[in-house]
Amino acid sequence: MLADSTAYGIALLAIGRAATFKRRAALASGVILAILGVGVIADAVRRALVGGEPEGWIMALIALLSLIVNASVLKVLAPYRKGEVHLRAAWIFTRADVIANLGVISAAMLVIATNSGIPDLLVGAAIGLYVLKEATEILREARDVRGAETGG
């Protein structure tokens, strides 16, 4: 949630600013999302090595509450998904959250159904990879905006 609020704060700071500032805001959001993706993968690896059974019902409840909030924010940001790069970055960031929430809910249901932590580890790693993909999209778009600004 700290990463989300940071990305939203960066996007809000960029409103009304110069194109370079907006591009840098998008770059910052992309870097934050990439760090988050690496962290999710690292945590899945850590849990695989150290162990610890996930609590399926707690996972599901927290992910469901997060999904409600993130889906609401995604709806608010929808008009900006093809807008300026910093706002598009916020939309992509939130879209990644919604997909991650759905993944956690799915993992929680599989943990409950199988009484195993393996689904949590697999889905966690998949979410991390997906988040990295989304970070790459933000970074690529910010780079493309820079190319358009400089004519190259």
Give the single-character DSSP code of 79.
G
What pLDDT does 150 receive?
60
What pLDDT does 2 receive?
73
Tell how far CA 104 is from the center of its chain. 13
| CA max distance for the chain | 56
Give the single-character DSSP code of 36.
H
Alpha helix (H) ranges present in the chain? Answer: 2-14, 19-50, 56-77, 85-114, 118-150
Predicted TM-score (pTM) of this structure: 0.86
The Cα–Cα gap between 1 and 84 comes to: 23
pLDDT in tens, the chain (152 residues): 677 888 889 988 999 999 999 999 999 999 999 999 999 999 999 999 998 788 999 999 999 999 999 999 999 999 999 999 999 999 999 999 999 999 999 999 999 999 999 999 999 999 999 999 999 999 999 998 876 666 55
What pLDDT does 53 receive?
80
If one counts every other C-beta atom within 10 angstroms of the C-beta of residue 57, the result is 12
The Cα–Cα gap between 33 and 77 comes to: 17
Domain count, the chain: 1
The Cα–Cα gap between 128 and 121 comes to: 11
Nearest to 4 by CA among 100, 78, 143: 100
Buried b (16+ CB within 10 A) or exposed e, 117-139: bebbbebbbbbbebbbebbebbb
Full domain range(s) for residue 136: 2-150
Contact 39, 144 (CB under 8 A): no
